Chain A
Amino acid sequence: MLSNIILSWVEKFKMSNLFNLFLIIGVIWFTLLAISAFLVIFIAPIDIVIFNDRKDLYITSILQATIAILIVLMLIVFLNYLKKLYIQKKLHIE
C-alpha cells in the first residue's frame, strides 16, 4: 500500500517539469565537476610538462588562462544547446 503511494508519487514527480529542472541542474553540476577534474589533472601541472619544472610563471599562466577560458566558452555553448533542447521540448519554441 505504502510502496504503491511512494511509487505513484515518484512517477508523478518524474513527469513534472521540476524533475526535468533537477536533471538539468544535475547535468550542469556534473559538467562543472568534470571540467574541474580536467583542469586539475591536465592543465594545472602544465609548467612541469612543458618547461621541465622551470617556473616561467607568466607564460604558464597565460597558457592556462587561455585553455580555461576556452573550456568555459565550451561550457556556455553546451548550456545553450541544453537550453534549446529543453525549450523545444517544453515550450515548443525554436
Chain B
Amino acid sequence: MIFSDLNSLIMVFIYGIIASAISFLTVYFAMPKAIAFLLERGMIVQDYHKSERPKIPRPAGPILIIGITLSLMVIYCLTFNEKILAILFSTVIAFLIGFIDDKKVMPGWFKPVALLIAALPILLLGAYDTNLNLIFGNAFIPLLYIPLILIAIPVIGNTINSIDVLNGVASGFILIACIPLIISVYIFGSVEVFLASLSLFFVTLAFYKFHKFPSKIFPGDSGTLLLGTIYGAIAITGKSELIAIIALLPAIFNSFLFLSSVKRVVEHREITARPTYLTDDFKLAASKDKKAPITLLRLLLVDGPLSESELVNKIFKLAIFSSILALISIVIQYYFVLGGKI
C-alpha cells in the first residue's frame, strides 16, 4: 500500500472509521432485536453443553450479512473498486448457502460443493492477482491460481463452520485471526481491501459480545459460512493467502483431523460415534471410542475433562499462537517481498 501524500493517509483513516463504525454499530444495535425476534418465532436450539440446557436463538447470519453489506456498499461508493464488489457478492452467496442449510437439513456434500459458487465473483470480476506471495518472494502462477481460488473459498468457509462447536469459538477465532490478516492486507494488499478487512473485524467484534460464553445467540451455518468466506475473499483479493492460512492453522488442522479420520465429507450430525461426551458434572471429555472421529476438541481433552469455558480458552490460546506465527511470517515477507519498503 503506497500513500502518495498526507491527504491520502487522512482519507484512508476517515474511510476506515466510517467502515468500522457502520459495521460495528449495525450488528451491535440490531442483534438484541434479532434475538428477541428469533425467540418470539421459536427459532431456537438447545445448548447441550450446559446443565440447564438453555434455548438459544439461531441464526445470527442475517444480522451479520446486513452489517457487512452496508459497510462494503459504503466502501464501494467511496472507492468504486471491483474487489469490494467481489468480496460482497462472495459473502452474500455464502450467506444464502448457509441460510438454506439453516432452514433445511442438507447432505454433507452440499456446503463444500455449493461454496464453489461463492468463489465465482472473485474470478468473474478479476479481483485476484496471479502473483502469489510465498513469504520469501512471489510466484507467477496464472494457471494454478484459478483452481486455487475455487478450492480456497469452500475450504475456509467450511473450516470456520466446523470449528463452531462451542460458545464464542467461531467469532473469537475469526477475531484473533483477523489481526494478522488486517496487517498483511495493509502492507501487501490495497487500501480498499484493507477497509473491507476492518469491516470484517468490527462486525465480528460486535457479534462476539453476543456469541461469547455463555452465548445469547448462535451464528448458524449462515453466520459461520459468511465469516469464513469473507475471510478467504479478503485474503485472496488482499494478496495475503499464505498469511491467512497460517493464522487459521488450528482450524485447518481440526478440519484435516476430522476428514482424515472420517475419510469422507460428512455433516457432524451424521456421525454416530461422537468425539466428545458430557460428564455428569457437565464437563466435556474425550471419547475412548476408536470409531469416533479425531477432532481438535478431542485432542485438547486427552489430559482430562474440561468445562466449556476452559476449552474455549485453550482454543483461543492456539489461535493466538498461530496468529503470532502469522505475524512473524509477515515480518519475513515484508523484508523478502518488499525489501523493507511499504
Q: How far is the CB of B256 from chain A (nearest CB, A)?
A: 6
- Residue contact A91 to B286, C-beta cutoff 8 Å: yes
Name B's A-contacting residues (CB within 8 A). Answer: 134-144, 242, 245-246, 249-250, 253, 256-257, 260, 286, 290, 294, 296, 298-300, 302-303, 314, 317-318, 321-322, 325, 329, 332
Q: Which residues of A contact B134 (CB under 8 A)?
A: 36, 39-40, 44
Q: Which residues of A contact B141 (CB under 8 A)?
A: 61, 64-65, 68
Q: How far is the CB of A76 from chain B (nearest CB, A)?
A: 8
Does residue A80 face the partner (Cβ distance < 8 Å to B)? yes
Q: Mark A24-66, 1 if CB is under 8 A from B, else 0.
A: 1110110011001101110110000000000001100110110
- Residue contact A29 to B294, C-beta cutoff 8 Å: no
- If A18-B314, A36-B135, A91-B299 are given as contacts, then 17 extra A-B residue pairs at C-beta distance below 8 Å, sorted by A number, are A18-B300, A25-B253, A25-B322, A29-B249, A29-B322, A29-B329, A32-B242, A32-B246, A33-B136, A36-B242, A43-B139, A44-B134, A44-B138, A61-B143, A91-B294, A91-B298, A93-B290
Q: Which residues of A contact B137 (CB under 8 A)?
A: 40, 44
Name A's B-contacting residues (CB within 8 A). Answer: 16-18, 21-22, 24-26, 28-29, 32-33, 36-37, 39-41, 43-44, 57-58, 61-62, 64-65, 68-69, 76, 79-80, 83, 86-87, 90-91, 93-94
Q: Which residues of A contact B298 (CB under 8 A)?
A: 91
